[in-house]
Amino acid sequence: MSVTREHLEPSHTPDAIRDRLNDGPDHSYLQDFIYGAIDGAVTTFAVVAGAAGAGLSAGLVLLFGMANLFADGFSMAVSNYLGNRSEEQRRERLRAEEHAHVRAIPEGEREEVRQIFEAKGITGDTLDRVVEVITADEHLWVETMLREEHGLPVHGRSAIRAGVSTFIAFMIAGSVPLVVFVIDLIVPGAIGNALWWSAGMTAVTFFATGAAKARVVDESWWWSGLETLGLGGGAALLAYAVGWLLSGLGGAAV
């Protein structure tokens, strides 16, 4: 994407910059969506492939597929929510610890600030001034330590939005492998070899997910689509192979 001065000027006026910074960072939930979409398509297709391979009816295939769709989708969403929530709790714990350290041993914490910015190449009177300004405000002091010492963003992502993004993507992408079985249930025999149709639609889902991602990260849509297809398709094949192997072992045991 070409960037010109005329394009950037409206967003770089003093008022526009002030408003943007006051709004805080714009967090992306793309990774949560991609994560949910890929896993939704992979796990649902694996369940469908196993059920169809066992010769079950379209109704039973749908039953197993829908059970996986809701149970696994909810589980993933909750896991993602708890993971992000844990990061937020860790940030708040470290923030409280830094406040306590600043109040208990300000000399040591001031030296930490000095060494942090000295390592960035700031020296002399400029370094003294930087340390003086930062340590004059306890809030700024602690937030600086969070970023520089602990490597944490001051404002984290919303745990709820992360979980919801994963759940929605899982439900949308995970529903695709089931579509042909819905049609087969409504109109028996309308689709020959429903499993292969399901596999094809799952592959299209992988490609479409990657192509959609490309619009956000500004890369080639076809390359992003092929990359996601290759990785997601490999995961789906692995899941299918494991299911086939286990079903064979189960049959031999019986």
pLDDT of residue 85: 96
Predicted local confidence at residue 1, as pLDDT: 53
Number of domains in the chain: 1
Is there a contact between 198 and 42 (Cβ–Cβ < 8 Å)? no
Q: Quote the pLDDT of residue 254.
A: 45
Q: Quick one: pLDDT at residue 3?
A: 65
| Residue 81 resides in a domain | yes
Instruction: Confirm whether 116 is domain-assigned.
Output: yes
Whole-angstrom CA distances from 231 to 32, 49, 193 are 17, 18, 25
Q: Read off the pLDDT of residues 25-62 as tens digits, 9 standing for 90 and up.
A: 667 888 899 889 988 888 888 888 877 767 778 888 89
Ranges of residues in the chain whose predicted pLDDT is under 50: 253-254
Residue 54 lies in a domain: yes
Taking a C-beta distance cutoff of 8 angstroms, is the pair 28, 153 a contact?
no
CB within 8 A of 243, min separation 6: which ones?
46, 49, 50, 53
pLDDT at 243: 65
No. of helices (H) and no. of strands (E), the chain: 11, 0
Length of the chain: 254
The first and second tokens of residue 24, run together, are: 């805080």
**Which is nearest to 166 in space by CA: 79, 64, 239, 228?**
79
3-state helix, strand, coil in the chain (%, to 5): 85, 0, 15
User: Does any domain span residue 252?
Assistant: no
| Four-residue CA torsion sign, 91, 92, 93, 98 | positive
65 lies in some domain: yes
User: In the chain, where do the E strands start and end?
Assistant: none
Structural domain of residue 92, as residue ranges? 31-245
Residue 22 lies inside a defined structural domain of this protein: no
- At 2 the pLDDT is 60
45 in any annotated domain: yes
Q: Report the distance separating Cα 167 and Cα 117, nearest Å.
A: 42
- CA 42, CA 107: separation in Å to the nearest integer? 55
Interior CA angle at 82 toward 35 and 235, to 5°?
25
- Give domain status of residue 20, yes or no: no
Give 135's Cβ-side CA count (13 Å radius): 21
End-to-end CA, the chain: 61
CA pair distance 54, 62, nearest whole angstrom: 13
